[in-house]
Structure 1
Amino acid sequence: MENIVITIARQYGSGGRTVGKMVAEKLNIPFYDREILRMASDESGINESLFNQVDEKLEKNSLFRISKDLYDGKIIPPDSDDYTSTKNLFNFQAKIIKELAESESCVIVGRAADFVLKDYENVMSVFVHADEKFCLERAMERNSMTEEEMLRYMLKRDKFRGDYYKHYTGQEWWDARNYDLCLNSGKLGFEKCMDEILAYRNIRFDLEK
């Protein structure tokens, strides 16, 4: 197989992004997170600030939490009033994710990439999670909030990620059935999470006998 893509969804504070970067560095392949927003902006001609603001906009929209706008792969044309809608912003991100999967080996974090690429044979999906204590301790290392404030923030971020995922996919973000591999970083640590991803990659794609 010429190129292999690893998607990583992660619980806030679990270190999934860190693990993803470690995997990318180990394999010497590109790592994509918010870079996808810039690439989608370049592709669409829509100002990057709109892509950057969309999460905040959706998080404040109570209707978003109970509605669904399932991804269908269709790009809304520029002459439509909905060209800069949240749905089309997601569609352009998904278009970039598909183009990456078709052209190179890489690691992609977030953006419901596992769902967007669910029919691609060259893709493996990973979900990284951990217990509350581990996530809280790790999050506190990078922020100046009190523990109580951070815990509320963590719960808020994970709820939004779940709402975001369900809005566009119709599925539950935390459901293990959506992923090839689920890893508890609190028990394994980041190095062993990386090792497990690489081992699964080798077995899944028959890279080592």
Structure 2
Amino acid sequence: MKKKQLIISVGREFGSGGHEIAQGLADHYGLTMYDHDLLKEIAAKKNLNGDELTAYDEVKWNRFLYRTVRGLNSSPEQNVANLQFEYLREKAKAGDSFVVVGRCSETILREYKCLVSIFVGGDISKKAERVMKYYNMTEKEAREFMKEKDKRRKQYHNRYCEIAWGDSRNYDLSINSSRLGIDGTIQTLIQYIDARIAIM
């Protein structure tokens, strides 16, 4: 029997462990995971400079600096975003299964019934602990870093999506990773995803 297509989209607050959770899900289901390395794959495929593309990854587009003429946009930020959206749509259309972190994937791939969209949040104190440990920061530095990172993610997401970043209506499931920890959250999500797979 042909294996069902499965696409898992993971949005996340900075410090919530969302990336680690996404990797855990990818490992469990044996799927490729697309995150910030996605641009390297696109660059190789299209013979572009990956480092130059990465500089504009998940960055808010400034409409006052660029303009659109005949459907073509001069904003490198928007062009890089569109490259990623197009790549993910091609993968989904081809029937590929994968996990994707961010990239507005819960919105751009919404038409696919095999999509399971998740948003991972967490308690500020727990997120700050993770950031302090990982980046060797003080609590004040960690909280400011988290605030800035989430601000950028929100601005980027809201530029391309009708429903706001983090709004529970935009996802199948929103979960607080601080309650069960990373491993517990992964196991809980696996139960949910397995239930979804059964009815796909």
Q: One-letter code of the match for 2:10?
A: I
Q: How many residues align?
A: 193
Query: Closer, same or farther in 2 for the Cα pair 1:45/1:170, shift >3 Å?
Result: farther
Gaps (5+ residues) in structure 2? Answer: none
**Equivalent residue, structure 2, for 1:135:** 127
Residue in structure 1 matching 2:139, options 129, 140, 147 = 147
**Equivalent residue, structure 2, for 1:88:** 79
My pick for the range that moved more, 170-179 or 99-108, is 99-108
My pick for the range that moved more, 120-129 or 193-202, is 193-202
Matched, 1:180 2:182: no
Please state how far the C-alpha of 1:183 moved relative to its aligned partner: 0.8
Distance 2:132 2:118 in 1: 24
**Equivalent residue, structure 1, for 2:107:** 115
Please state how far the C-alpha of 1:46 moved relative to its aligned partner: 3.3
Q: One-letter code of the match for 1:97?
A: L
Please state how far the C-alpha of 1:178 moved relative to its aligned partner: 0.3
My pick for the range that moved more, 21-30 or 124-133, is 21-30
Q: One-letter code of the match for 2:81?
A: F
Cα root mean square deviation, aligned: 2.5
Please state how far the C-alpha of 1:55 moved relative to its aligned partner: 4.0
Distance 2:150 2:163 in 1: 15
Q: One-letter code of the match for 1:89?
A: V
Cα deviations by residue, 1:21-75 (Å, 9 ceiling, x for unpaired)? 111111122122122111222344432122211148x46x7x46x99x9xxxxxx
Cα deviations by residue, 1:140-190 (Å, 9 ceiling, x for unpaired)? 111122211111110000011111000111321010000001111000211
Distance 2:80 2:33 in 1: 21
Percentage of matched positions with identical amino acids: 28
Matches within 5 A, 1:70-85: 82=74, 85=76
Please state how far the C-alpha of 1:207 moved relative to its aligned partner: 6.2
Please state how far the C-alpha of 1:2 moved relative to its aligned partner: 2.3
**Equivalent residue, structure 2, for 1:2:** 4
| C-alpha contact 1:31 1:107 (8 A) present in aligned 2 | yes
Residue in structure 2 matching 1:38, options 3, 16, 40 = 40
| C-alpha contact 1:4 1:101 (8 A) present in aligned 2 | no
Distance 1:147 1:165 in 2: 27
Cα deviations by residue, 1:90-139 (Å, 9 ceiling, x for unpaired)? 11101111222233221111111111111111111000000100100011
**Equivalent residue, structure 1, for 2:152:** 160
Please state how far the C-alpha of 1:194 moved relative to its aligned partner: 1.2
Matches within 5 A, 1:3-82: 3-55=5-57, 58=59, 63=62, 82=74
**Equivalent residue, structure 2, for 1:99:** 90
